[in-house]
A and B are shown apart, each in its own frame.
Chain A
């Protein structure tokens, strides 16, 4: 299927599905637009510029800032861009973008862990939300060997230092250990 097009500075720009490099900027900015009323011009600019760099990675911000961009072009581009984040699919829990934002570093770390030979830099530009969903479904049906072995051995990750302290504070909320 052909990529959707947005018109910016009177020119057609294809907008493929975004990778983490764009989604890191676009999703938080879309969330801010959704949460606050009024036209937030800087957020609009960030969203559109990041979107254009998916198909035109060499476009630099200074050049973009000089293009004759009508404000209505930015506004009309937003629904297309929001769809291309991959998070606005009907039925997705995060489709209203008001939930917790994806932790792209953690997601990419998981991909690198389960798919040896790939690098974080590769996934930064290759991991679309559609691929993420497909891969998670595949891992649900056919878990990676590392997960199976960990389950078989009953492996549980060691709590991080802060988690241990938080657990202690939960057990003794007043910070006082009572001995009866």
Chain B
């Protein structure tokens, strides 16, 4: 049995189907196909760590009437939380762009709001939420 051809499913940036969702990072649209364990082993624990913190921060913002902008959310999160956000985004991008280097990513002009906005798409592509047929 040739496992290589039978199980090889890594998508590339070029053959991403039209319905592959995208996220915007550094002002550029990136396709995010359904993630594989190689990405999810980083992305899933990071999402489970960071999402409750973001929810708490959102609740604090709401409670203090500061307004709900994504940028304001950043002021309520610590460095560790920001690092988790970048881990999530970086590993999500590597699914379609396996050659993307972390150093290059860390030097991109990434808006914090872009990282927040990407979370929902990435959580979906990590399979944290089961998609119903009608959602397809």
A residues engaging B (CB < 8 A)? 9, 38-39, 41-42, 45, 58-60, 63-73
Contact = CB atoms under 8 A, between A and B. Distances in A.
13 contacts: A39-B44, A41-B44, A45-B41, A59-B7, A60-B3, A60-B7, A64-B7, A65-B38, A66-B8, A69-B37, A69-B40, A72-B127, A72-B130
Interface residues of B, number: 24
Interface string B99-136: 00000000000000000000000000011111000000
If over half of A's interface residues share one DSSP class (helix, strand or loop), that class is named, otherwise mixed; here it is loop
Contacts of B8: 63, 66
Interface of B: 1, 3-4, 6-10, 33-38, 40-41, 44-45, 48, 126-130
Given A41-B41, A45-B37, A45-B41, A69 B127 contact: yes
Q: Which of A67, A71, A72 has the most C-beta atoms of chain B within 10 angstroms of its own C-beta?
A: A71
B128 A71 contact: yes
Contact of A9 (B1, B3, B9, B45): B9
Nearest to A71: B127
Given A63-B8, A67-B7, A70-B34, A41 B1 contact: no
